[in-house]
Amino acid sequence: MSAAAQPRHRELGLTDREYELILAGLGREPSDVELAMLSLMWSEHCAYKHSKKLLRRLPTEGPHVLVGPGENAGAVDVGDGLAIAFKVESHNHPSAVEPFQGAATGVGGILRDIFAIGARPIAVLDSLRFGEVADSQRSRYLLEHAVAGIGHYGNSIGVPTVGGEIYFEPSYEQNCLINAMAVGMARHERLTSAAAAGIGNRLILFGALTGRDGIGGASVLASAELGEGDAAKRPTVQIGDPFAEKKLMECSLELLERELLASLQDLGAAGLTSAASEMASKGAVGLDLDISRVPLREADMEPFEIMVSESQERMLCVVEPDRVEAVLAVCEHWDILATVIGEVTAQPVFRILRGEQLLGELPVALLVDDCPLYDLEPQAPSAPLYRGGDQRIATDATPAQALLGLLASANISSRRAVFEQYDPVVQSRTVRRPEQADAAVLALPVLDARSAAGSQPIPAIAISIDGNGRRVAVDPRAGAAEAVYECAANLACTGAQPLGLTNCLNFGNPEKPHVAWQLSEAIDGLAAACRELDVPVVGGNVSLYNESPDGPILPTPVVGMVGRLPDARHAGRLGFAAAGDRIALVGHFNPRRDGSELAKLQGSAPAGALPAKDVAALRETHRLVREGVRSGVLHSAHDIAEGGIAVALAECAIAGGIGARVRLPDGLDLFGEDLGTAFIVTGSEQALAGMTLIGEVGGEALELEGVLNVPLSELAAAHDSGLPALLR
- Taken in order of first residue, the domains within the chain and their CATH numbers are 3-50+193-368 (3.90.650.10), 582-727 (3.90.650.10)
Q: Of the listed 64, 91, 514, 719, which one is catalytic? A: 91
Distance (Å, rounded) from C-alpha 718 to C-alpha 715? 5
What residues have CB less than 8 Å from 544, skipping those under 6 apart?
A: 44, 50, 51, 223, 505, 507, 508, 509, 510, 519
- For the segment 46-66, what is each residue's pLDDT rounded down to a tens digit? 999 999 999 999 999 999 999
Q: What is the mean pLDDT of residues 227-251?
A: 75
* Whether pLDDT at 236 is above 70: no
In the predicted model, what is the mean pLDDT of the chain? Answer: 93
* Chain segment 266-291, per-residue pLDDT in tens: 998 899 999 999 999 999 999 999 99
Pairing of strands 177-187, 349-354: unpaired
Residue 219 has pLDDT above 50, yes or no: no
Q: Which of 29-33, 285-289, 447-451, 516-520 comes out lowest in average pLDDT?
A: 447-451
The DSSP secondary-structure symbol of 73 reads S
Please report how the helices 513-533 and 476-494 are oriented relative to each other, as an axis angle in degrees rounded to 10: 40
When pLDDT is cut at 50, 70 and 90, the band that residue 225 belongs to is low
Please determine, for residue 234, whether its predicted confidence score (pLDDT) is greater than 50: no
Task: Specify the amino acid at residue 71.
Answer: E
Q: Across residues 64-72, what is the average pLDDT?
A: 95
Q: What is the pLDDT of residues 580-627, one digit of tens each?
A: 999 999 999 999 999 999 999 999 999 999 999 999 999 999 999 999
Cα(425)–Cα(43) distance, integer angstroms: 39
Model pTM score: 0.95
Classify residue 611 by its DSSP letter: P
Per-residue pLDDT of 131-187, as tens digits, reads: 998 888 999 999 999 999 999 999 999 999 999 999 999 999 999 999 999 999 999
Q: Of all residues in the chain, what percent carry a pLDDT higher than 90?
A: 89
Mean of pLDDT values over 105-117: 96
Q: Is the pLDDT of residue 230 over 50?
A: no
pLDDT at residue 602 in the model: 97
Query: How far is Cα 547 from Cα 222, in angstroms, rounded to an integer?
Result: 11
pLDDT for residue 645 is more than 80:
yes
Instruction: Please name which of 456, 455, 432, 454 lies closest in space to residue 443, comparing C-alpha atoms.
Output: 432
- The catalytically annotated residue of 9, 45, 635, 719 is 45
Is 622 catalytic? The answer is no
pLDDT tens for each residue of 429-450? 999 999 999 999 999 997 655 5
To the query of whether residue 570 is one of the catalytic residues in this protein, the response is: no
Query: Strands across the sheet with 440-443, in order?
Result: 430-432, 440-443, 460-466, 556-565, 497-506, 537-543
**CA triple 501-267-540, angle to 5 deg:** 15
Residue 681 has pLDDT above 70, yes or no: yes
The answer to whether residues 417 and 727 touch, using CB atoms and an 8 Å cutoff, is yes
- Stretch 370-385: mean pLDDT: 94
In terms of Cα–Cα distance, which of 483, 387, 495, 480 is closest to 441? 495
Q: Given CA atoms 670, 676, 677, 680 in this order, what sign does their dihedral have?
A: positive
pLDDT higher for 549 or 82? 82
Q: What is the pLDDT of residue 22?
A: 95
- Tell me: pLDDT of 294 over 90: yes
What pLDDT is stored for residue 725 in this prediction? 65
The pLDDT tens digits for 662-675 are 999 999 999 999 99
Instruction: Please give the average per-residue pLDDT across 541-548, as a whole number.
Output: 94
**pLDDT score, position 723:** 78
φ and ψ of 437, to 5 deg: -155, 170
The predicted pLDDT at position 1 comes to 40
336-374: b (≥16 Cβ within 10 Å) or e: bebebbbbbbeebbbbbbbeeeebbbbbbbbbbebbeeb
- The β-bridge relationship of strands 349-354 and 582-586 is unpaired
- Give the residue among 551, 404, 371, 424 at the shortest CA–CA distance from 163: 424
| Weakest mean pLDDT among 132-136, 352-356, 558-562 | 132-136
Phi, psi angle pair for 278, to nearest 5°: -70, -35
pLDDT surpasses 60 at 231: no
Burial of 1 (0-12, 13-18, 19+ CB in 10 A): exposed
Rg of the chain, C-alpha, whole Å: 26
Report angle CA 99, 102, 105 to the nearest 5 degrees.
140
